[in-house]
Amino acid sequence: MTFPDREAETAAEHGTSVISSSVLREVKVEDAVGLVLAHDLTQIVPGTFKGRLFRKGHRISEQDISKLKDIGKEHLYVIDLAPSDLHEDDAALRMAVALAGEHVAYGDPHEGKVSLKSEINGLAAIDPDFVHTVNAAGEVALATILNHQVVRQGDTLAATRVIPLIVPEAKVADVERLAAKYRNEHGGRAPVAVRPLRRMRAGLLTTGTEVFSGRIADKFGPAVRAKLESLGSEVAEQRFAPDDRHTIVKEIRYFLGQGYDMILVSGGMSVDPDDRTPGAIAAAGADIVSYGTPMLPGSMLLFGYLEGVPIFGLPGCVMHDPYTSFDVLLPRVLAGDVIVREDIITMGYGGLYRG
């Protein structure tokens, strides 16, 4: 948006502003009775309320004047919108329509903002580079949650807004073009989408002689069951093994024979001589994508594929920490991603959980 100085000065003298070729005329609130509001008006009372006090299109009445003064309004805008410009509400809505993809719904503009929400429980699919490209254009704001986050039905994924009250239509058309290009280059996938999670049945092998012998009660089973169930999957069978490599290999092969969608082996993932699990997973024939992840907690996690079946070695932290490398990789596997080394390597940035 350009704002020619001379035009601006002249406009200011007459109490008007020129934005592109639209005209914003300022009216004193006392003189505004009977006029229609040009945008939503926000009230903020810290700790109590933040939201829309008046909606765009509201006709000002005599009683509104003191409420308007309470939120600091001495003047209101009357807009004469040029055909080449867009009001903030329409701009935000058009951006949302352009960006929203599979399983994403958008609502009405609210204080110039449109929210994009998930229609399902699933995994957010949001391209960070696309978000940066849109925001580099200036005057538009696209704010999103992080890619690959688990979302519940109704969770907000993104919100769109333009910064000025009025923007050139061309600005929004640029965002629409970027979104269309993105869809073309990504097999029709939109820049903001949600992927459903498949329902998988897992075999869980719990290792540890202290658990196998009954010295201590198993805590892994309930924790892993809860994590899978919260994502719509299940532990179909849990078995137990002592810290003996031969037995662990045999039980892993048993799970493979049962046709489970995923194999989980808990415990024995660290540096003690009794930690047999990584060696046993390799000896069972798995292709190891990574033993170790640059995430804390969850650094001792192993991920691989055994004849195409995802297999995890789960370190002790999965039992008691709510957010570990398992909680990052599990939803991705459920969304159908094939995990490669690059996925593991990039988990370190942001992978320190401060909970």
Ligand X SMILES: Nc1nc2c(c(=O)[nH]1)N[C@H]1C(S)=C(S)[C@@H](COP(=O)(O)OP(=O)(O)OC[C@H]3O[C@@H](n4cnc5c(N)ncnc54)[C@H](O)[C@@H]3O)O[C@H]1N2
**Footprint of ligand X (CB under 6 A):** 206, 208, 210-211, 216, 218-220, 266-272, 275, 299-300, 315-317
Spatial neighbors of 166 by CB under 8 A, at least 6 apart, are 19, 20, 22, 24, 79, 81, 85, 86, 87, 88
Residue recorded with tokens 């949001």: 126
Residue 299 interacts with ligand MOO (CB under 6 A): yes or no: yes
Of the two residues 97 and 296, which places its CB atom closer to ligand MOO in the complex?
296
Choice from 297, 310, 313, 331 touching ligand MOO (CB under 6 A): 297
Spatial neighbors of 203 by CB under 8 A, at least 6 apart, are 235, 236, 237, 238, 239, 254, 255, 258, 260, 262, 263, 264
Residue 313 interacts with ligand MOO (CB under 6 A): yes or no: no
Of the two residues 134 and 317, which places its CB atom closer to ligand MOO in the complex?
317
Choice from 109, 208, 298, 310 touching ligand MOO (CB under 6 A): 298
Element (H, E) at 289: strand 287-291
307 binds, among ligand X, ligand MOO, none (CB under 5 to 8 A by kind): none
Stretch that binds ligand MOO, among 71-79, 108-116, 296-304, 345-353 (CB under 6 A): 296-304
Choice from 317, 328, 329, 333 touching ligand MOO (CB under 6 A): 317
> Across the strands, what pairs with 110?
113
State how far Cα 325 lies from the chain centre.
17
Which letter does DSSP use for residue 127 in this model?
A: -
The residue whose Cβ lies closest to ligand MOO is 317
CB 303 within 8 A of CB 245: no
Stretch that binds ligand MOO, among 25-33, 176-184, 188-196, 314-322 (CB under 6 A): 314-322
Q: Which residues contact ligand MOO (rule: CB under 6 A)? A: 296-301, 315-317
